[in-house]
Structure 1
């Protein structure tokens, strides 16, 4: 996780005193890492009450209240300017109809010389048209409302909103290896999960989900990418 955070930070290249935005802060891991290592001010937003409460406590426990601000806010309501913007696997939750507004928000809230760093799971361009018109296993059982963009769609909305991709890295092989480890650990700990009331249907669903994703990344039908953006 820390390697992932550092890679994104290397893309935005923060300076002391910078004002940074995180769109979709999750459980606060990136905020804690950045707040501990860099002299910056960080605004983090989420629309999840549980994530907000957990991240808020996490930041308080680390003594970072003066540097890190956690808010419940929809990204579309943002109206500010930041030296840098980071967003980790938030784009998959945006939905097909709101990809344009996601990149417009980044454009509108990024300073003229600012940088944005995005981590996203994408689907292969050749599969996108079929994928966008169907509900797959993950959308039905794991992430209702989730939607994977393709690289071409990302490029389209980036360009249309006055932004440019400056760097791009792919980590599909790393993710497939990670998913194999997760699946093995899940099976090792199944007796503990079973004691918590989870049944064999749950077990089979998660084994299939982890194997399904592992195969997707290994075949490059899906990819994990990190890319940086700047104004044109």
Structure 2
């Protein structure tokens, strides 16, 4: 894209400004909510016309990287990830769909005997052997979600030997055990102190929680809870009418 017909110099400058601002946003240097310098200030910084800057800002807005507000200025948008309610989604793929680098941190992994609460969550008998893991997934430099997971060692004994150092537990499980049935539960909660600390948000911030249980032919495999900052994630469901119900729109 060029800003002046036949002007290669102007086109090159346009691309440089665009790359510079994209880099600042995607790297986290300009985090969500950051007010982008005014067009007149950017024009001065890059020694170019305000029209060139305006076209760059228009492209950034179309790409969903910034929001433009009349008089107030332009602000970095909060990335919005989407995942399908009826699918087992991959968090790394979600993050990369936003154009951000993915990483995860294993906070802890332990093995223990199932408590009464664990039995209710995982649909197993009390006293069963479990592995539990706590992870934080990152989008760029910012926490994307928290993963709390229980694994039934009677069905997946290999989890005892895995430290999940190089692969998130969810992806590791999908490679180990084909699941046959899954259940999703979706809710909204206010972030408690520890959740807020891990997600780097204010205590009490609205969060989206997705709980999942999966089963294989051998029994319950895993229970997991993902906690997302509420303004950064969207769930999507696609479905068709039941065959025995009249078509309604």
TM-score, normalization by structure 1: 0.23
Which of the two has greater strand per residue? Answer: 2
The structure whose RCO (Cα within 8 Å, separation 6+) is larger is: 1
Q: As a proportion of its length, which structure holds more helix? A: 1
